[in-house]
Amino acid sequence: MSVKTKLARQAVKTTAKHTAYGTASRFARKPFRSVTLLALGAGIGGIVGWLIGRSGGDEPFEPVAPSGPTSAQSSSPSDQISNNSTEQASETGAVS
């Protein structure tokens, strides 16, 4: 393991310990404030998640059928590759 990787892991470990210690000591000193901030963060996160989930658009989701040959149409992998490349070329508007 390189020195750079070791230092990065040590920095992450130290930061995590420091954050956990600070959070625990703040909770011990001001429990009401900690619970209030936690609840506020959870509430805001829930509202934002709900809004993002609803902003998907007005039309309902309709799954798209996969394009390409089925196994009954083409049994060899080389046929499937050539069909897929032809389809991609026609979709992009390239002339083959």
Write out the chain in H/E/C secondary structure: CCHHHHHHHHHHHHHHHHHHHHHHHHHHHCHHHHHHHHHHHHHHHHHHHHHHHHCCCCCCCCCCCCCCCCCCCCCCHHHHHHHHHHHHHHHHCCCC
Q: For residue 94, which phi and psi values (nearest 5 degrees)?
A: -75, 145
What does the block give as tokens for 65? 């059928």
| Residue 10 pLDDT | 94
- What span, in angstroms and rounded, lies between the C-alpha atoms of 47 and 6? 40
What is the percent of the chain where pLDDT is above 90?
A: 32
pLDDT tens digits for range 14-48:
999 999 998 888 888 888 998 899 899 999 999 99
What does the block give as tokens for 21? 């210690």
More confident residue, 15 or 76: 15
| Residue 9 pLDDT | 93
